Each structure stands twice: as structure tokens, then as C-alpha cells.
Amino acid sequence: MKKCPYCGSEVSSSDLDFGYCAFCEMKIPYEDIQENGQRKQFLPESQPTLSDIKKSTPELMRLSTVELLFLLKWAREERATIYKQRCTFIRAMKQGANEFAEAEQYTFKEYERATRKCFVLENLVRERLGYYPFKLTDSYIQKLAVKTEESASKKMVIQEPKPLPE
């Protein structure tokens, strides 16, 4: 039986792309409609990859919070690596190795790009959680994933009333 992912009520057919929940008074996209009181899943089928960091902001907005947290962790690591490379070039230039000026400019542009990507990811996470974690560890992300999975396990089912004794 087709159910609303928010309240668990039965969804009626509305049109080709949506069902309708009378309790919530809203259209529900068919891909969000659940079966038998199941809750909508927010965990991805698989973990994101490093190449996902390069996605545009609208593409990132479609990812789950857990995916965004993985990407933020990786983006911060990439930014730190670029920063260290830039510092190396700056130290060399201070010692007279001016041939690294072009490389320093390149790493600055890459650092700026990486920082802006971190800003995007932080703000997307902040929109969902109300904050973004200053320090991201694998254990933090794993705990959030477990909580997300556990919260989806309780079905939205209301028991029928028991008959009153006569």
C-alpha cells in the first residue's frame, strides 16, 4: 500500500509525477512514496567518491547529509594539502628561489577554489543540521549514519483499536 513518507497515511494518485496525501495536504513525488509505513531512507546506496567534490552546488544539494559530511571531510583535507604546498613555495621564494612564483600563484588559486568548495559544503550541511561540525572524524560520520539508519527502522503504523468488551 502506497504511504506518505511524512505521516504514514495512504497516498492517492494525483497525476503522473505525484501522489497526494490528504493528511499533510500536499503532493508527494512518486519516488518519495513509501510502502507499508516505511520511512524515507536518507542513507546513500554507496559512499561518495573524491570526484564528487567537483560537482556543482545544485548537484551537491541533491546528496544526503552523510554524503555531504564525507565530502566536507575530504575537501578540508585537500585544502590543507594545497595550503602546505603553497607555504613551501612561499618559503622557497623568501630564500630567493623566484622561479616558484608561478607555482605559488597557481596554488593560491587552487587554495581559493578548495576553500570556496568547503564553504559550499559547510553551508549545505548547516542547512540540514543547523550547524556544521568544526572537526569531522570518521567516527562522527559513522555515528550519524547509524542514527539515521536506526531512525528509519521504526515503521509509521498505527494499531487498530481493540474491540471494547461487551
Q: What is the pLDDT of residues 45-68, one digit of tens each?
A: 667 888 899 999 999 999 988 899
Please give the average per-residue pLDDT across 71-94, as a whole number.
93
Query: What b/e readout covers 79-116, taking b as 16+ CB neighbours within 10 angstroms?
Result: beebbebbeebeebeeeeeeebeeebeebeebbeebee
Q: Where are the alpha helices (DSSP H) in the chain?
A: 57-61, 65-94, 101-129, 138-153
Between 69 and 141, the higher pLDDT residue: 69
Between 17 and 87, the higher pLDDT residue: 87
> What would the grid cell of residue 78 be?
585537500
> Contact, 122 vs 134, CB < 8 A?
no
Q: According to the model, what pLDDT value does residue 57 have? A: 95
The SS3 call for residue 34 is strand
Give domain limits for the chain. Answer: 2-35, 50-152
The SS3 call for residue 13 is strand
Please state, rounded to an integer, the average pLDDT across all residues of the chain. 87
Global pTM reads 0.72
Residue 142: HSE in the Cβ half-sphere, 13 Å Cα cutoff: 3
Listed in sequence order, the residues at least 6 apart from 158 whose beta carbon sits closer than 8 Å to its beta carbon are 8
Examine the pLDDT at 8 and tell me if it is beyond 90: no
Q: According to the model, what pLDDT value does residue 75 have? A: 96
Q: How confident is the model at residue 152 (pLDDT cuts 50, 70, 90)?
A: confident
Examine the pLDDT at 166 and tell me if it is beyond 70: yes
Examine the pLDDT at 3 and tell me if it is beyond 80: yes
Number of H helices, E strands in the chain: 4, 5
